Amino acid sequence: MRSSLHFSLSSLTLAVLTALALPGCGGGDDTDPIVPAAAEPAGLGQTDSAAPPATAAYVDTGASNQRNNPCQVTLDANAGVRVLQGFLDVWTPSTQKVDAGVTLAAANGCAAVTASTWSGIPGDATDGQVKNAAVHAGNIGYVKTVTQSRTAAQALAAYLDDRRGKGYSVADGMGPLTSAWRAGAQQASTIASIDANQLLPTAVNEGGNNLGVGSAANANLGLAVDFVANIADGSTEPAKRFYKYARPYRWSTDVKVVPALESAKSGTPTTDGGFPSGHTAEAWRNTLAMAYLVPQRYQELITRAMEMGENRILAGMHSPLDVMGGRVQATAVVAYSLNSAAYYTPAVKNSAYQQAQAWLTKQAGVSDFNALNTYAHTVKTTDAANADFDRFADRAANKTAYTQRLSYGLPRTGAAGVAATVPKGAEVLLETRLPYLSAEQRRVVLKTTALDSGYPLGNDGEGWGRLNLFAAADGYGAFNGDVAVTMDAALGGFAARDSWRNDIAGKGRLNKLGTGMLRLAGANTYSGGTLVSAGTLAADSASAFGNGDVYVKGGTLESAAPGTLNIGGAFTLNGGALQLVMGSATNGSLKVSGNAVIVNGALNIAFAPGFKPAVGDTLTVLSTSGQRGGRFVTVTVSGYSKVTTTYRANGVTVKLDGV
């Protein structure tokens, strides 16, 4: 009796469990296997952090970047000099003071400064000493090579970036938004363009207004112009007069200055050092301010700033180390400014940002931030002479150029593999690009995307020289702790929809929260698992979700992978929906390494542009190397009202029976 009763209860239990799994079924195996669902991925159980280094911070001491105070002429006392201290790994100046062409009377309890005897001519008795011969040779050698082989088009670009206002020049990083920005800002240049065959034998001077017209007389983009113009004094003069490193054409007669710029060369080498590049620094200050206001073009704008540095080299006026120094110092100056209420209160930043977004949205004839983002990456013209021609439409090319120009391939001056530090306040540089992350999360993004250690100028004590803002704009580089991302679609902008395109490593877990959509497009290898709690987490690559388990308990997991979406562990749908955007009968489907268990949730299938399956076709939804358990509550296929869903021990297919 006991045995018979036990058998009956067990059969009843199995029948109930099988019946519970039947909604949404269409066919397949006679029995639906009971496969235990995996638990939510546990991750590491802790978050990552990026505390600032225990050293003097540029954002606290940026006001010391000046050359008129005898108390601020040393490495320790001048922030503009100190942020470039990595240059001392390459070059030892004849004196370590801000004293090239500088004479200061005693003041503020500090001794008088006497001008150095440095002549500005490499190799004479007053000169400094090369400390790292390989780096120095590579630095000057690069200029020799590119100036001897530059094309007429490169010479023209170098000339224009030398002569035009820097803000006007870098504004073309806006691409399809360039003419709208320049019109709203009322930017003007008297040498906006010139034919390559009409370069004059002597340099002409800019007569335009560079950044445009401010808010006192400009209701369109005046606040934005004020914002760009209000960056703190980022003079490179203190550093030039401290490091006393000559321009490349003084190091070698093999460096060929653009002929039309010969007349622009200074005749006073004692006050005309090459390191760091002032043109490059100014361009970076203007560019980072514009990128703050128009984050839709963040990566393209900073790629344009990198191009400005390259054009200074092509002109023969500067070396790679010079332009790298200009970038590093300017980055610190902008962060200092954006963190200082003396320059920008939150209200000032927000007003300028809102004005820029409203003006560009109106001029583009679109409705909101994300529509403007689409417009900003749509080729508006194929005419290279048109102001709105997008020279930076190729993201892969941008990334390659940007990454190479972070170090110019120069030999290392230190060890590789040293953990990155993030300067105090640097997270503000991503404030509008990653607005849904906390300040600490943005710091971790900067840490996990930083340039590897050991390259010239990377040893500045804070970490400015290792920041890779192009990579940081693409989100985390590694989950070295668990990451929870809350995106509120009601806030609009990137909080409603964003994409991370880095190849994300690490052992942490990703948890998607909030109503917004986050898309992952990298070749990811993180192993702590993926949890979808709310909103949409979308895969735009085959390995978007790394190597761990994927667990959906709310919201939507979307696959728009160009092939199958590989799930490195178990897949569990316990609420919400699985949405497949299929590009073929299999592209976009899930390929699961572990068990695939559907506890509760819907399946929605849509089709990528260019793919229209026929009635009678069968789509592979899911395949697994483990076991499949459970069934979808509902199955919806765009454009088809009649479908048959087949559940098998190792997968799920959907046959299209009719429209």
Q: What per-residue confidence (pLDDT) applies to 233? A: 87
pTM: 0.94
Q: What per-residue confidence (pLDDT) applies to 532? A: 98
SS3 210: coil
Give the confidence band of 17 by pLDDT, cuts at 50, 70, 90.
Answer: very low
CB atoms within 10 A of CB 564: 18
Q: What per-residue confidence (pLDDT) applies to 197? A: 60
The rounded distance, in Å, linking the Cα atoms of 657 and 125 is 89
The rounded distance, in Å, linking the Cα atoms of 549 and 530 is 6
What integer is the mean pLDDT of 180-208? 85
Q: What per-residue confidence (pLDDT) applies to 192? A: 82
Q: 202 versus 461: which is more confidently predicted?
A: 461
Contact 361, 369 (CB under 8 A): yes
Structure confidence by residue, pLDDT tens digits, 632-647: 999 999 999 999 999 9
Measure the CA dihedral 138/466/306/176, to 10°.
160
Q: What per-residue confidence (pLDDT) applies to 25? A: 45
Q: Is the peptide bond before 122 cis (omega within 30 degrees of 0)?
A: no
What is the percent of the chain where pLDDT is above 70? 94
The rounded distance, in Å, linking the Cα atoms of 37 and 629 is 8
Measure the CA dihedral 424/427/428/433, to 10°.
170
What integer is the mean pLDDT of 62-80? 97
Structure confidence by residue, pLDDT tens digits, 298-329: 999 999 999 999 999 999 999 999 999 999 99
Q: What angle (nearest 5°) sits at the alpha carbon of residue 145, between those of residues 141 and 150?
A: 150
Question: Quick check: 2 pLDDT over 90?
Answer: no
H/E/C letters for each residue in 501-523?
A: CCCCEECCCEEEECCCEEEECCC
What integer is the mean pLDDT of 612-638? 97
The region of weakest confidence among 129-138, 279-288, 374-383 is 374-383
What integer is the mean pLDDT of 232-242? 96
Question: Quick check: 3 pLDDT over 60?
Answer: no
Half-sphere CA count of 574, side-chain side, radius 13 A:
15
Contact 332, 233 (CB under 8 A): no
> Which DSSP category does 48 fall into?
-
Give the confidence band of 22 by pLDDT, cuts at 50, 70, 90.
Answer: very low
What integer is the mean pLDDT of 343-361? 97
What integer is the mean pLDDT of 252-256? 98
Question: Quick check: 8 pLDDT over 90?
Answer: no
- CATH class given for the domain over 58-407: mainly alpha
Task: Provide the residue ranges of all domains of the chain, joining segments of one domain with +.
Answer: 25-47+481-659, 58-407
Q: What per-residue confidence (pLDDT) applies to 33? A: 83
Q: What per-residue confidence (pLDDT) applies to 18? A: 32
Mean pLDDT of the chain: 94
> Which DSSP category does 165 fall into?
-
Question: Quick check: 29 pLDDT over 70?
Answer: no
Phi, psi of 599 (to 5 degrees): -80, -45
Q: What per-residue confidence (pLDDT) applies to 380? A: 87
Query: Shortest CA distance to 324 belongs to which of 257, 433, 404?
Result: 404
Question: Quick check: 7 pLDDT over 50?
Answer: no
Structure confidence by residue, pLDDT tens digits, 576-598: 999 999 999 999 999 999 999 99
What integer is the mean pLDDT of 477-500? 98
Report the chain's C-alpha Rg in angstroms.
29
Q: Which is it for strands 651-658 and 642-648: parallel, antiparallel or unpaired?
A: antiparallel
Structure confidence by residue, pLDDT tens digits, 551-566: 999 999 999 999 999 9
Question: Quick check: 208 pLDDT over 70?
Answer: yes
Question: Quick check: 12 pLDDT over 70?
Answer: no
Structure confidence by residue, pLDDT tens digits, 464-482: 999 999 999 999 999 999 9
Phi, psi of 606 (to 5 degrees): -125, 175
